[in-house]
């Protein structure tokens, strides 16, 4: 009798799962910056791929521009199920991601594709506890960061006292260089520029076009400051509710999406700079070798500070750092970037 009950219950559960799979699942995906920006461009690409590869079993309802969750409540919103999926900029959560914030260190990433693949491999190997409450669907980075300003920064001396919007490690680096770093998410930057709270920002060149910053920040200075790490996360219970097939599709898509986003941004940043030169005659400056060496020297202390945080989180900080640098070398060689 007991076996019959168990068999019946199992059959009912399987039927329920089959029905729900056939009925289809719609997942909500929250993103914080405006729709034209690369975090949202990659979101739309991922959504299309999921619908195609699951044969329509899973569809994605996207919410760009903080219409569902903003930059600072993205993590909590996904953990509590306000959104099924969310895109996080890790730099907006100081101290929350002590291991994966390694990617935001001044290790001279020059390619977003390389940095994004390195980030995915580090996550896969170390599975840091900082992500234990969510499912990570993919990871990627911004491109290297440069100064975009209303007044020309032709030398490091021009940075003295200059209020520049940034986040993550770049805030400390700007302070070390004598500038006035002002921390805020990208989505708050247009108003800060418009009100004169900041005289420019430090980020990757895509925002010259996607946020139209080329109009107000007509001077760009190549500083090759760190990339910013992003994580696309999913509510754990919603992840567990998905069918085996849907989970398989999303897991297979994860590293592909990291690579796709990195490649997209590597190509796009130069296009955005060219667009700014054409439309607003923006000017780009480079610094001297001695100034780049000064930036490197004044950024080096960040690595030790990161090691302390990562060790406190239980990670082998030296191993993570060594792996990051060897993976960087591996992908730069493989991709010729
Ligand atoms: N540089 C980081 C990340 C970033 C670069 N481009 C965009 C576009 C939209 C949102 C964030 C970013 C930053 O400044 O926040």
DSSP string, 62-119: EE-TTSS--TTTHHHHHHTTSSSEEEEEGGGSTTT-TTGGGGGSSS----HHHHHHHH
Q: What average pLDDT does the segment 12-39 reach?
A: 81
Domains of the chain: 2-143+228-268 (3.40.190.170), 150-225 (3.40.190.10)
Pocket lining: 208 vs ligand 1, CB cutoff 6 Å:
no
Q: Among 18-32, 135-149, 189-203, 255-269, where is mean pLDDT lowest?
A: 18-32
Residue 199 has pLDDT above 80, yes or no: yes
Q: How far apart are CA 86 and CA 236, in angstroms?
A: 12
Residue 13 has pLDDT above 70, yes or no: no
- Which residue puts its alpha carbon closest to atom 8 of ligand 1? 37
Pocket lining: 142 vs ligand 1, CB cutoff 6 Å:
yes
Distance 145 CA to ligand 1 centre (A): 9
Q: What is the pLDDT of residue 267?
A: 96
> In percent, how much of the chain has pLDDT > 90?
91
- Which residue puts its alpha carbon closest to atom 1 of ligand 1? 203
Pocket lining: 159 vs ligand 1, CB cutoff 6 Å:
no
For residue 257, what are the CA distances in angstroms to 92, 272, 336? 22, 22, 20
Pocket lining: 207 vs ligand 1, CB cutoff 6 Å:
yes
| 282 close to 276: Cβ distance less than 8 angstroms | yes
Q: What is the pLDDT of residue 254?
A: 98
| 32 close to 187: Cβ distance less than 8 angstroms | yes
Hey, which residues does 202 pair with through a beta bridge?
A: 147
pTM for the structure as a whole? 0.91
Pocket lining: 33 vs ligand 1, CB cutoff 6 Å:
yes
Residue 127 has pLDDT above 80, yes or no: yes
For residue 226, what are the CA distances in angstroms to 36, 203, 207, 230? 22, 9, 16, 13
Pocket lining: 228 vs ligand 1, CB cutoff 6 Å:
yes
Q: What is the pLDDT of residue 14?
A: 63
């Amino acid at each position: 009798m007991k076996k019959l009950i168990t068999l019946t219950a199992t059959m009912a559960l399987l039927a329920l799962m089959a029905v729900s799979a056939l009925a289809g699942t719609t997942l909500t995906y929250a993103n914080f910056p405006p729709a034209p920006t690369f975090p949202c461009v990659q979101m739309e690409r991922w959504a299309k791929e999921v619908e195609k590869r699951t044969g329509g079993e899973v569809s994605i309802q996207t919410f760009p521009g903080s219409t569902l969750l903003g930059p600072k409540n993205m993590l909590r919103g996904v953990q509590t199920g306000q959104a099924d999926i969310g895109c996080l900029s890790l730099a907006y959560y100081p101290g929350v991601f002590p291991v994966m914030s390694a990617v935001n260190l001044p290790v001279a990433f020059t390619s977003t594709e390389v940095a994004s693949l390195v980030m995915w491999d580090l996550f896969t190997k170390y599975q840091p506890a900082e992500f234990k409450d969510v499912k990570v669907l993919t990871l990627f980075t911004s491109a290297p960061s440069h100064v975009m300003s209303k007044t020309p920064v032709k030398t490091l001396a021009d940075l003295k006292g200059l209020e520049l919007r940034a986040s993550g490690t770049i805030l400390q680096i700007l302070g070390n260089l004598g500038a006035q770093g002002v921390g805020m998410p990208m989505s708050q930057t247009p108003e800060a520029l418009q009100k004169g709270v900041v005289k420019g920002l430090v980020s990757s060149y895509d925002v010259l076009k996607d946020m139209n910053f080329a109009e107000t920040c007509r001077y760009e200075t190549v500083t090759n400051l760190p990339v910013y790490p992003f994580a696309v996360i999913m509510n754990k219970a919603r992840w567990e509710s998905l069918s085996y097939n849907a989970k398989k599709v999303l897991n297979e898509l994860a590293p592909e999406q990291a690579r796709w986003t990195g490649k997209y941004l590597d190509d796009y940043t130069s296009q955005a700079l060219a667009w700014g030169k054409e439309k607003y005659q923006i000017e780009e400056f480079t610094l001297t070798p001695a100034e780049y060496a000064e930036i490197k020297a004044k950024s080096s202390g960040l690595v030790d500070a990161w090691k302390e945080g990562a060790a406190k989180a239980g990670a082998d900080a030296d191993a993570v750092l060594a792996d990051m640098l060897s993976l960087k070398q591996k992908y730069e060689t493989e991709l010729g970037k």
